[in-house]
Structure 1
Amino acid sequence: MAPLPPPVKGSTAGIDLPFGKARAMVFPRVVLAGHDVLTELGSTCRQFGFADRGAVVTGPTTAALAGDRSAQILSESGFEVETIVAREATEEEVARVEQEAARSKAAFLVAVGGGSKIDITKVVADHLHLPFVSVPTSAAHDGISSPRASLHGAHTTNSIPAAVPLGVIADTAVIVRAPYRLLASGCADVLSNLTAVLDWKLAVRLRNEEYSSTAATLSEYSAQQIMDQAPLIKPNLEESVWIAIRPLIVAGIAMSVAGSSRPCSGSEHLFSHALDRVAAHPSLHGEQCGVGAIMMMYLHGGDWHRLRSTLRTIGAPTTAHELGASNAEMIDALVAAHTVRPERYTILGDSGLTREAAERLATVTGVVG
């Protein structure tokens, strides 16, 4: 019998090593999802005990979709509301919105929009130490309830820690009006959790990385929900939004449990970020992660055929052509992916893929051809 390994710090096996783990886990207090739940915005903010002055952060398009209505609902609930129209999620735009929110003396924020508007609000809320409510108007990725935000630079996308919404109000009647491509992208993002968790488990075995089985289970559960119900996810069906929105929210909560993006971001996300850098016209984040997951699942020896079939069922891209990328851009991204976050160990290893290996991988999985 092999000898037992020595006790590790925090283990009850070693009486001279005190337990030392500690982590803050912040979750949304209220999640409302379903038809016409936007009408509950005012009462929810009252339930939270918010002061009477708030700001709605929305976009030029989403203002008409739900931003103006959100401001009206808050006003009818007795709040003084200022609307701040935001644009792309950049550091410069975050600084501008932050100044506007501070000038308005808002005691709370409401993010009404897609991923970029929610990400901007997350960062502003974090900087100003304000509570905020997330009101998604689309479901393009898993950032609706996550503790991370993506800010875009000239040729890069940076994922940074940010505030978690105190509440999420996901009105399926609003979200179904967004282009279906966004919903399919969100589903692809959640499906890519499958390879993210495999990468995480690999890092635990090879790098002794800290692991949360609860976070991993939540992440895998959200992906499995999309996989099992993929035939029901179709354009222009509010029920499809209902099916997809809950796994997206659960994926965000998985990241809060883990204290990092590990449960939902692995080699497939590294590929997506690398493609953002090299592609002339990058596609949607979730779409790129979905295609990346096909290839990374192949490397893991998993059922990449089923993953690809599920993506096709929901109408998400599975090839370079469908992403609008060239074969050369895909190969360049695969070769560079391991350099995006060198500290995050994945199936790509420390040295990444050779160009020959990348070409074979993309060809075998049908991503290029």
Structure 2
Amino acid sequence: MKVTATDYLGRRWRCAACGQARSVPTRWVEVAEGVLAHLPDTIPADATPLVVADEIAWEVAVRTVAHLLQSACPSVRTVVLPIALHATDKTAEFLMERLSTDITTALAVGSGAVNDVVKWGATQRAVPYITVPTAASVNGYTSPIAALTVDGVKGTLPCHPPIGVLAEPRTVASAPLAMTAAGYADLDWQVAHRLWDEPYCPLPRRLIAFADAWSLDHLRKLAASGQKAVAELLLALIAAGIGMTIAGSSAPSSGGEHLISHWLDIQADRRGRSPALRWAAGWRRNACGVGALRTLAGD
């Protein structure tokens, strides 16, 4: 029987393979045309949701999201982050000021940086959040971590995954081709398990192996930015994020290549390179690719 990430949505169980207690807080994932129309059904009418996006995502999707919610939740609020958004402690603090005590649900509309900032802020405020990806660019949408730059040093912080994911293929496929890329690395986890007794579970590995294999098999279709291929890539990335949630860390899908990527980010910041230009050009994914090659090359 084929096991997919969606089989574990909203579940708690004890893993038969490793014996550890596992859970997936994300309850639902919908990737199809028209799914944003389901948003009002996911939030109570008396709720006060906060919709967060950058300027690019605002033009693509947030007007639709806010409009849909307005009919069901008249108290909906919006925050538009600068186009030069970078996931830093300062950006997170800016958002925290707007996640007031009466906000009941946060919605992250955008790609990786927006999702990381909202994920961290929602976790700090103990507010559930929903992610609406606008690009198939990262595997962190459903992961239990957020990548933030704090005091000039980039790293990952533990966070709560979203309660749900909604994405429309047409919107996701319209993202720049440079963003429709993803790199996966899992070798570090197995090495850490064998050398330093890092807890290891084969279930997340199987879920992420599916994402790896799918990406390799559909590379040409992704280059053409076909809606179906990009939507399936997003589902593969979501599966990878759920695999990380099951493992309780980024280890199944992130290793030394991400540390190299973070180091390159820090060096670029110190040299005054524009975060907006780096992200628009798919900087982080390319940096992870370079990191993966360097990790595999060894000395």
| Normalised-by-shorter TM-score class | 0.7 to 0.9
Matched, 1:175 2:172: yes
Question: Which residue of the partner structure matches residue 278 of structure 1?
Answer: 267
* Partner Cα separation in structure 2 for residue 51 and residue 160 of structure 1: 32
- Check whether the contact 1:37–1:170 (CA below 8 A) recurs between aligned residues: yes
Is 1:293 matched up with 2:282? no
Residue 30 of structure 2 is aligned to residue 35 of structure 1: no
SS of 2:30's equivalent?
Answer: strand
Q: Is the 8 A contact 2:48 2:73 kept in 1?
A: no
Residue 51 of structure 1: how far off its partner (Å): 4.2
Question: Does the CA-based 8 Å contact 2:222-2:229 persist in structure 1?
Answer: yes
Compared with structure 1, are the counterparts of its residues 88 and 177 closer, same or farther at alpha carbon in structure 2 (3 Å cutoff)? same
Counterpart residue number, 2:7: none
2:141 to 118, 132, 144: 144
SS across alignment from 2:241:
helix
2:155 aligned partner: 158
Structure with more of its chain in strand, by fraction: 2
Query: Equivalent residue for 1:342?
Result: none
Q: Could you tell me which residue of structure 1 aligns to residue 95 of structure 2?
A: 97
Asked if 1:224 corresponds to 2:213, the answer is yes
Query: SS in structure 2 opposite 1:286?
Result: helix
5 Å matches for 1:236-247? 236-247=225-236
Highest relative contact order (Cα 8 Å, sep 6+), 1 or 2? 2
Which residue of structure 1 aligns with residue 60 of structure 2? 65
Per the TM alignment, residue 31 of structure 1 is displaced from its structure 2 partner at its CA by 0.1
Per-residue CA shift, 1:33-71, capped at 9, x if unaligned?
12232222222x14xx57421110111221121112101
* Contact 1:268–1:292 (8 Å) recurs in 2: yes
How many Å separate the matches in 1 of 2:187 and 2:86?
Answer: 32
Q: TM-score, normalised by structure 1?
A: 0.68
Counterpart selection for 1:251 from 231, 237, 240: 240
- 2:263 counterpart letter in structure 1: A
The answer (yes or no) to whether the contact 1:155–1:276 under 8 Å persists in 2 is no
Which SS does the other structure have where 2:167 is aligned? strand
Note if 1:205 corresponds to 2:194: yes
Q: SS state of the match for residue 144, structure 1?
A: coil
Mapped contact 1:28–1:164 kept (Cα < 8 A): yes
Q: Is the 8 A contact 1:50 1:108 kept in 2?
A: no
Larger Rg: 1
User: Is the contact made by 2:51 and 2:62 (CA closer than 8 Å) also made in structure 1?
Assistant: yes
- Aligned equivalent of 1:80, options 75, 79, 82: 75
Contact 1:132 1:166 in 2 (8 A): yes
Tell me the alpha carbon deviations over residues 250-288 of structure 1, each in whole angstroms, 9 at most, x when there is no partner: 010011010011001112112212222334456622221
What code does the residue aligned with 1:165 have? Answer: P
Aligned mates of 1:161, 1:50 — CA distance in 2 = 30
Match for 2:161: what amino acid? Answer: V
State the shift of 1:23 in Å: 4.2
Q: Counterpart of 1:139 in structure 2: which amino acid?
A: A
Shift of 1:77: 2.5
Deviation at 1:144, TM superposition (A): 1.3
Of all paired residues, the percent bearing the same amino acid is: 29
Contact 1:234 1:240 survives alignment (8 Å): no
Aligned length: 269
1:124 equivalent in alignment to 2:113: no
- Of residues 87, 112, 137, the one that matches 2:109 is 112
State the alpha-carbon separation in 1 of the partners of residues 195 and 45 from structure 2.
47
Please report how far the alpha carbon of residue 245 of structure 1 lies from its aligned counterpart in structure 2 after TM superposition.
Answer: 0.6
- d(CA) in 2 for partners of 1:253 and 1:50? 29
- 2:3 corresponding residue in structure 1: none
Distance 2:200 2:64 in 1: 42
CA, structure 1 residues 286+50, in 2 after alignment: closer, same or farther (shift >3 Å)? Answer: farther
Counterpart amino acid of residue 92 in structure 1: K
1:168 is paired with a residue of what secondary structure?
Answer: strand
